[in-house]
Amino acid sequence: MPLFNVYPLYDVTPVSAKGMYVYDENNTAYLDLYGGHAVISIGHGHPKYVEAITNQVAKLGFYSNAIQKPLQKELTDKLETLSGCKEYQLFLCNSGAEANENALKLASFKTGKSRVIAFKNGFHGRTSAAVAATDNTSIIAPINAQQKVTILELNDIERVQRELEKGDVCAIIIEFIQGVGGLDQATAKFFEKVDVLCKANNTFFIADEVQSGYGRSGKFFAFQHYKVTPDIISIAKGMGNGFPIGGIFIHPSIEAKFGMLGTTFGGNHLACVAGLSVLNVIEEDNLMHNVNEISQYFIKIARTIPQIKNIKGRGLMLGLEFDYEVSDLRKKLIYEYHIFTGGAANKKLLRILPPLNVKKEHINQFFKALVNALDS
């Protein structure tokens, strides 16, 4: 039986990985500065991560959410401590798309409204309402297009206000650093005014932190660079270092009821242990400090390369913009220099999303290869 062919693939077959490197069947090492779309947060095969999952699967890997799971409370408490988001509630699921689906569903439940405001170049997932709120018509099927979604320009606060005042918007969903779209960010004034307008119009403010969260921006969440209080915060990707896990932080003012949200696999024992081990490594190794230090180092070097026209993003969610499309450059970096990087909807942007414990030596390796690739 063939696989359903929906992924364009590079001709590389990883068979193992350790730290910052992925190894193919010929034992060729590839420097991973993309982390499988910002998923690998503490490096491949981190010993504490491997030990925690190995020990847990030997005891109990899964049971449904019909029984007590102290690991969920342990994960919740650790998240509250490291994120600084006090008194929020946590609902656990399995992916970023699922997190955003539950965020939008909860917003609609609580406001009694159904329209969503999202933004140009935003990406929130490939399912149901999440993909309807994604600014890419090529992946929106007619069944998704039934959702009521209005796509607006970032920073157009007047239009946001006019739409909210129509009274039918249940949620505004926004990435504080856009991922797939190309690392665009709105202004602090815009984010903070949106927060005020949502609260004045019975509209949920949803922070999509699926890619930018978990320390990647230099703070635990990217929204924490601004004076805002989201009603719901979506998380996934770096949460499990490759193990499928997602969730939403839910403001304490929002009351739960049985059956409102649900999942079979969300918050299973293995997922919780994966999530806990990631948080423990982030805390013990002071990785958010490393994010800021390496980010500054990366940007300082990038500014010396004349072919780079713009440096986008923040923390270790970075992009290098050129005045030409970078698909050939990415291929050259993979096949000739054995370095993984990422692309974006902005075809001129090279995305860099390394594990949070990346070191200066890895950045040096990348820039040496990049300069050679640009000059060849």
- Give the integer Cα–Cα distance in Å for 134 and 230: 19
Angstrom CA distances, 285 to 128, 164, 168, 277, stand at: 38, 43, 46, 12
For 229, the token pair is 């209080």
For 35, the token pair is 């982390």
Contacts (Cβ under 8 Å, ≥6 apart) of 337: 369, 372, 373
Pairing label, strands 29-32, 317-321: unpaired
Residue 67's pLDDT band (cuts 50, 70, 90): confident
Q: With 90 as the cut, is the pLDDT of residue 113 above it?
A: yes
Q: What pLDDT is attached to residue 174?
A: 98
Q: With 90 as the cut, is the pLDDT of residue 66 above it?
A: no
User: Does the domain spanning 14-47+286-375 belong to CATH 3.60.15.10?
Assistant: no
- Give the integer Cα–Cα distance in Å for 43 and 18: 7
Angstrom CA distances, 2 to 6, 10, 25, 104, 246, stand at: 12, 18, 22, 35, 29
Q: With 90 as the cut, is the pLDDT of residue 111 above it?
A: yes
Q: What residue ranges do the domains of the chain occupy?
A: 14-47+286-375, 48-284
Pairing label, strands 169-174, 115-119: parallel
Residue 232 · residue 209 · CB < 8 Å: no
Q: What pLDDT is attached to residue 212?
A: 97
Arithmetic mean of pLDDT, 120-129: 95
Looking up tokens 């569903």, which residue turns up?
A: 105
Query: pLDDT, tens digit, for every residue of 175-214?
Result: 999 999 999 999 999 999 999 999 999 999 999 999 999 9
Query: pLDDT, tens digit, for every residue of 153-174?
Result: 999 999 999 999 999 999 999 9
Angstrom CA distances, 233 to 89, 135, 302, stand at: 10, 20, 32
48-284, what's its fold?
Answer: Aspartate Aminotransferase; domain 2 (3.40.640)
Contacts (Cβ under 8 Å, ≥6 apart) of 305: 367, 370, 371, 374
Q: With 90 as the cut, is the pLDDT of residue 106 above it?
A: yes
Residue 94 · residue 263 · CB < 8 Å: yes
* Intrachain domains 14-47+286-375 and 48-284 with the same fold: no
Dihedral (CA of 319, 321, 326, 331) sign: negative
Q: What pLDDT is attached to residue 226?
A: 97
Q: With 90 as the cut, is the pLDDT of residue 376 above it?
A: no
- Give the integer Cα–Cα distance in Å for 331 and 2: 26
Contacts (Cβ under 8 Å, ≥6 apart) of 340: 22, 30, 31, 32, 33, 34, 333, 334
Query: pLDDT, tens digit, for every residue of 255-314?
Result: 999 999 999 999 999 999 999 999 999 999 999 999 999 999 999 999 999 999 999 999
